[in-house]
Amino acid sequence: MHLTDPIADMLTRIRNANTVYHEMVDMPLSKMKVEVARILKDEGYIRNYKTITDAKKPVPVLRLFMNYGPNRERVIQGIRRISKPGRRVFVGTEELPKVMGGLGIALVSTSHGMMTDAQARKQGLGGEVVCFVW
């Protein structure tokens, strides 16, 4: 199966797993997905992630372990794809978005790798706005 937008597929899998309180969610592996997972873990939106390469399975898998509050509150309230294959969204340092007035994060793909909007602002970098998480 070939996907047009693998990052949108990843975000949809996370959104669906979060909605029904799944403990983990699997998806096909890619370098960009691992970077998104790393940032989500660093920011506390997911508990952990790991890559699984099994000789029995033809495709390597990225497994995310979802994070919920003590009374099963959702840590991820919303997740939205911004830059899409049909419409790429690039911003300079001055136009970096603030998600929910600074309560959420924007993932930005820069020339120095994938980072949050706050990190990109601090380093004076712009780039492609991949998604918003709040």
Q: Does 1 map to a domain? A: no
Q: Which long-range contacts (CB under 8 A, 24 or more apart) does 1-5 make?
A: 4/85, 5/81, 5/84, 5/85
Identify the pLDDT of residue 3: 79
Claim to verify: residue 68 and residue 16 sit in the same structural domain: yes
- Do 83 and 57 lie in one domain? The reply is no
More reliable by pLDDT, 83 or 58: 83
Range of the domain at 109: 79-133
Res 57 pLDDT > 80: no
Among 27, 58, 74, residue at a domain's last position: 74
Query: End of a domain among 74, 89, 106?
Result: 74
Token representation of residue 59:
């495709």
**Is residue 87 in a domain?**
yes
Indicate the residue among 59, 74, 89 that finishes a domain.
74
pLDDT of res. 76: 97
Using one digit for the tens of pLDDT, what is the confidence trace for 75-124?
999 999 999 999 999 999 999 999 999 899 999 999 999 999 999 999 99
On whether both 10 and 66 belong to a single domain, the answer is: yes
